[in-house]
Chain A
Amino acid sequence: MKLNIEGLLVYFPYDYIYPEQYSYMLELKRTLDAKGHGVLEMPSGTGKTISLLSLIVAYQRAYPLEVTKLIYCSRTVPEIEKVVEELRKLMEYYSKEAGEKNNFLALALSSRKNLCVHPEVSSLRFGKEVDGKCHSLTASYIRAQRHSNPSLPSCRFYEEFDALGRQVPLPAGVYNLDDLKDFGRRKGWCPYYLARYSIVHANIIVYSYHYLLDPKIADLVSKELAKKSVVVFDEAHNIDNVCIDSMSVNITRRTLDRSQANVETLQSTILKIKETDAAKLKEEYRRLVEGLKEANVARETDIYMSNPVLPDEVLQEAVPGSIRTAEHFVGFMKRFLEYLKARLRIHHVVQESAPQFLKDISEKVCIDRKPLRFCAERLRSLLRTLEIADIADFSAITLISNFATLVSTYSKGFTIIIEPFEDRTPTIANPVLHFSCMDPSIAIKPVFERFQSVIITSGTLSPLDIYPRILDFHPVTTASFTMTLARTCLCPLVCNLRNPQHGAFWEGGEGPVIRNYGNLLLEMSAIVPDGIVAFFTSYIYMENIVASWYEQGILENVQRNKLIFIETPDAAETSMALEKYQEACENGRGAILLSVARGKVSEGIDFVHHFGRAVIMFGVPYVYTQSRILKARLEYLRDQFQIRENDFLTFDAMRHAAQCVGRAIRGKTDYGLMIFADKRYARADKRGKLPRWIQEHLTDGSLNLTIDETVQLSKHFLRQMAQPFKQEDQLGLSLLTLEQLQSEEMLQKIAQIAHQV
């Protein structure tokens, strides 16, 4: 279908369109027109991705000079692949309708683990191993060494790519990860480096958040991306945590020990090199005097995206003299390590700010702020000079140097917490230094500053105003879209079970609550067909409940109705349980999956159609509030952004709850129950923080229900939903043809779908 979105011709690769998709595109177009950022919430299963892609591709075609590139960031590898497949569909539609092949280059980029075709390297199991092995074959100095000693192992894919791959750009087309691998195998080129090279001139890139948000990776991969790009963060409801994680550092005694070993290796290598090739070190010294001018020039001329770990001041100056020679630097690092070790030898918890830490370090071991700031850069240079093959071995010292740079660069937004032991096990000494980022805007700031439009979108972003605040940006559009429905295919119910006290669990005072939970599950297992997913607030809590249920014989009774599968901390085990769960839903036996909010299942797995006919959320998934890091963050939010502690905690709990229950509805033909088994959900402050598309269906009649009432309502709902549902039922209401879309009346209705904030 060809749409006219405020004068822009948009090709939409389907025969029908949902009204909210049209509305979404409208808002998106306005955002792009204004060259600003946007926050858009649209329910999952309403074709968000295809709307985004259709509009932005159309925009790129219409105004090739305004928007040169689309950078689409998603969270998981399957998500990335899905996006590329949708894009392929769109491109096929283009070539079918327009007749001509358009010369768009679109590709997915992922880590080496997912792209490597080298037979040995790719057989390694963990991403880190693959990276390390790849590095040991392809690092520049290794390849230089090979000139003198051809017997060294090499990666023929990389060599081939290096020799030929850069001459001709990747032919236009849509490349998913497997396509890249196929192409790489055919040509004998390394797909990973090919993809990394090609993203510079590709029209559309699809990759994961980390490539933009994690400064360590972004600096390698994304810094040369054009300014006139549109960046989309899909499934962005957790984006603040991604930002924070990418900037936070934890240092344990083990890290320090390994760093110590690293430093010793460095020292001996330096000695060796000094005897054989002193010129090399001299050359490095000269380079360091020159400073990081090149990078600075590039950044100023707007070629590079800035890197929060590489602050501007560092670029303008030369590396300070005290750490310029290799030996001096190693000595410096040793001193720093000793200081950290001393700090970890404490018996009580210490919390301090970055300036306090710097003051202390300068008093105790006379380390200034300035050389600390250059630590990360200096170490990188040294590792390069010393031609160290396996960078993975040096992860500990790299971590320490990154910490040094960060702690000396940011006086605000970070906190240092040193804990001598874990709270749960006060007798076992396990000192940890948390250098914790509290301000997600630090990591994402370069993205907002560099790129013309940044779109943050997800199925659950409510309350919408909080994201611009915590990420510190000013969107031009903030909108939430409802799901137009021909039949109410979601049924949120709030069951009035008492909330359990977390601590009281151990004293056994939770019996009745747990029994009630169990009864609810048992009742639901008898009436809901196929799959039920139940979420608990934490893993330990789930373990205990499962044990009590087992003792009380509840699980036995549930087993009469359905098979039971349970998420475990082990990802592989859970994957297997998930697959079996789906198998059991598929063959008609029906199954229950017990899972954890904030867990991997709740974040990454969809339960479409019969895989999830009901979701039960036991309790409100508050984050573990006793953690000092969280407390520090809450304090920071209160001081900096005027967000009250409770508001943030509730917001955080509700976004996870919404994520969990939203797993079951993945489209308008889908249907599912959403049972909130905790009476606190009925309160206005919780209810109001659910996404609008769920809130709308949460009537007063569905609040504060007893278990029996819940079962009755569910039965009724399921019976209704089991009736045949055809396309004609939707047409004109939640599904539009082109003619229907163009009618005046419909356009007015559509205007109401978008709810501006």
Chain B
Amino acid sequence: MAALSEEVLLVVKRVRQRKQDGTLYLMAERIAWGPEGKDRFTVSHLYADIRQKISPDGKAKIQLQLVLHTGESTNFHFSNESTALRDRDAAKDLLQQLLPKFKKRANKELEEKNRMLQEDPVLFQLYKDLVVSQVISAEEFWANRLSLNNVDHSASNNKQEVGISAAFLADIRPQTDGCNGLRYNLTSDIIESIFRTYPAVKQKYAENVPHNLTEKEFWTRFFQSHYFHRDRISTGLQDIFSECAKQDEKGLRSMVVQGVKNPLVDLLSLEDKTLDEGYGSNSMAPSTSSANKTVKENSNSAIIKRFNHHSAMVLAAGAGKKACLTMKCAGPNWGCASETSSTDGNSRDSDFFQPPVKKVKIQEAIEYEDLHMENGKKTVALNLKKSDRYSHGPVPLLPQQYTTSQDIINSVNCIQQEIANYKPCLTQVMSSSTASSAIAALSPGGLLMQAGSQQAINQMVPSDVQGELKHLYTAAGELLRHFWSCFPVNTPFLEEKVVKMKSNLERFQMTKLRPFQEKIQRQYLSTNLTGHLEDMFQMAYNKFHAWQTRQMLRKT
């Protein structure tokens, strides 16, 4: 295991564990200890498994105790007299830094496991049957469950991204350095904010740093640019940020062109009928053409635009990746965006998916909640992963064979003809006594129906035994699933596992199934309730033996 290249963060020599001298290694993901003179670790714990570390101070021995989640603990004794305390503190400090990182993960996993057990009584029973009774280990039990679950809950497990402060630019307080200069203090957080809010700047950064500019120069130019100072009108082309401003402009415009989804805030469609050109008293409002605008006015409206854009970008950056993606769609090439997102406001195709939003918004707007009787309890929303499955039921994957109506008519005709031509062959009928005895034998409780009397089990077996049987079935099913999932056995790991699983099965049969069988035998003599279970086990054993013999053959 040490062969894998791992980053070793700290090596402490002369650490004793169980009265043996050795070396303690702190690595990126685990802590390990190997006895002196050997090249493998006898102790190795993942940080994630460590619940806490205790470093008792007052004791004569300088020790570090690690307590694991499983309850086990490991003691390390720092035995180098001169530096023991320092060594211990170094290890302790490093652990202190590392543990919280992994703790979160560990906790989350634990929580997740806990939650699953609480939510699913069947699973809990299974856990009791298999893990608590030590048929299989907890790791094995969780091995393929958690991974399953991680996929399902990936959405909820995603940690929420932290948004961006709207005033992050304001937080960069320039300080005068005394000789006609300004100092800006940038932190990585601020840079991150700038990049997230203004992707164009990030792009520029990627393009220019470090081949054209140093990082420092880049930011110096950034702060000098009109781009940063929103009220300045673009001055020249030499500024690398003039392009950014243009891109922003484009982004803003495309956002505008995209239109709004909520029809109630769409000012464009607010008016039903605008007055024709030339009518109205205010149509000659101060002309807004830029021709006769002063520079000041232009810069003022630039500020306003920038504020809107800035706020929109901050909002989008905070809304997470998904929104960022749509923002990108809204970028220069939004025209070829996916069909659902291109709700280009002007195309009337949008009608087809406009009504729902509109309806909902209008309904919200006309609703007077307090005029209604408060009706009953709130219902819990059903969270469906596949809603089509819910509404249609399971659909067979194969295309069904349809019979045309002509076929049906034809076959009906056929049957009719057959019936019309039916002539009972009276010489070959059974005698009535044989017939009735056959019917009797085939009726429930009859001679031939005894073996398969399924419903009888309800009445024959008391419910607690039934429950126990159910648990046995689920537990056995789980074990068998583990067993069968090892095939085809093509890795050494699986090989190991299949052997282990086989022994697990045997152990289960001995510790669980047998006592149960004996118990029923004591109470109910005739019925063989566990026959099927036995069969299943037998199947597994057969398979295992077959595999084993083949394995032997191959080896010899």
Contact = CB atoms under 8 A, between A and B. Distances in A.
B292 A571 contact: no
B271 A77 contact: yes
A125 interface: yes
A217 B273 CA distance: 10
A222 interface: no
Interface string A723-742: 00001001000010000000
Interface residues of B, number: 77
B434 interface: no
B343 to A, nearest CB: 12
Contacts of B268: 571-572, 575
Contacts of A141: none
Contact of A553 (B170, B277, B283): B170
A386 to B, nearest CB: 20
Candidate in B257, B315, B373 with the most chain A CB atoms within 10 angstroms:
B315
A506 to B, nearest CB: 10
A18 B371 CA distance: 8
B299 A547 contact: yes
Contacts of A17: 371
Interface stretch (A142-150, A160-168, A206-214): A206-214
B144 interface: no
Interface in A241-268: 241, 244-246, 248-252, 255
Given A82-B366, A85-B366, A127-B274, A580 B312 contact: yes
Given A77-B270, A578-B267, A560 B166 contact: yes
B371 A735 contact: yes
Interface in B302-356: 303-305, 307-308, 311-312, 314-315, 318-319, 346-348, 351, 355
Contact of B279 (A245, A430, A546, A553): A245
B258 to A, nearest CB: 8
Candidate in B262, B274, B312 with the most chain A CB atoms within 10 angstroms:
B312
Contacts of A18: 371
A526 to B, nearest CB: 12
A573 B275 CA distance: 21
A434 B311 CA distance: 41
Contacts of B258: 576
A596 to B, nearest CB: 11
B256 interface: yes
A562 interface: yes
Interface string B156-188: 000000010111011000000000000000000
A560 B170 contact: yes
B260 A576 contact: yes
B308 A565 contact: yes
Contacts of B231: 547, 550-551
Interface stretch (B135-143, B357-365, B416-424, B436-444): B357-365
A606 interface: yes
A565 B312 CA distance: 8
B263 interface: yes
Contact of B368 (A14, A601, A629): A14
B249 to A, nearest CB: 12
Contacts of A509: none
B275 A589 contact: no
Contacts of A564: 166, 307, 311
B304 to A, nearest CB: 5
B524 to A, nearest CB: 60
Interface string A73-95: 00011101110011001000000
A208 B300 CA distance: 36
Contacts of B230: 550
Contacts of A556: 167, 169-170
A557 B169 CA distance: 11
Contacts of A582: 262, 265
Contacts of B170: 553, 556-557, 559-560
A246 B270 contact: no
A248 B311 contact: no
Nearest to A402: B279
A629 B281 contact: yes
Interface in B362-385: 362-363, 365-366, 368-374
Given A111-B273, A562-B166, A425 B292 contact: yes
A667 B311 contact: no
A574 B305 CA distance: 10
B535 interface: no
A47 B371 contact: yes
A591 B307 CA distance: 12
Interface string A273-305: 000000000000000000000000000000000
Contacts of A562: 166
A721 interface: no
A622 to B, nearest CB: 15
A16 to B, nearest CB: 5
Contacts of B274: 127
A578 B260 contact: yes
A57 to B, nearest CB: 16
B371 A207 contact: no
Given A573-B308, A589-B318, A14 B362 contact: no
Interface string A575-590: 1111110111001010
Contacts of A544: 300
B492 interface: no
Interface in A95-123: 110-111, 114, 119, 122-123
A432 B299 contact: no
A668 interface: yes
Nearest to A590: B166
Contacts of B257: 572
A242 to B, nearest CB: 9
B534 interface: no
B235 interface: no
A600 B267 contact: yes
B548 interface: no
Contact of B311 (A399, A580, A601, A608): A580
Candidate in A80, A250, A432, A576 with the most chain B CB atoms within 10 angstroms:
A576
B355 A575 contact: no
Contacts of A422: 286-287
B275 A246 contact: yes
A437 interface: yes
Contact of B256 (A573, A601, A608): A573
A667 B369 CA distance: 9
A550 B305 CA distance: 13
B278 interface: yes
B108 interface: no
A605 B271 CA distance: 12
Contacts of A559: 165-167, 170
Interface string B191-208: 000000000000000000
Contacts of A543: 297, 300-301, 304
Contact of A576 (B255, B284, B362): B255
Contacts of A669: 369-370
Contacts of B372: 14-16
A712 interface: no
Nearest to B230: A550
Interface string A312-350: 000000000000000000000000000000000000000
Interface string B406-419: 00000000000000
A72 to B, nearest CB: 13
Contact of A560 (B167, B259, B264, B362): B167
Contacts of B276: 128, 216, 395, 399
Top 8 closest pairs, chain A to chain B, by CB = A556-B170, A559-B167, A14-B371, A208-B272, A245-B280, A563-B311, A15-B373, A560-B167
30 contacts: A16-B371, A49-B366, A82-B365, A82-B366, A89-B366, A110-B272, A127-B273, A128-B276, A178-B355, A245-B275, A245-B279, A246-B279, A252-B278, A252-B284, A424-B286, A430-B287, A436-B281, A546-B304, A550-B230, A555-B307, A559-B166, A559-B170, A560-B165, A565-B307, A571-B267, A572-B268, A575-B267, A580-B312, A669-B369, A735-B370
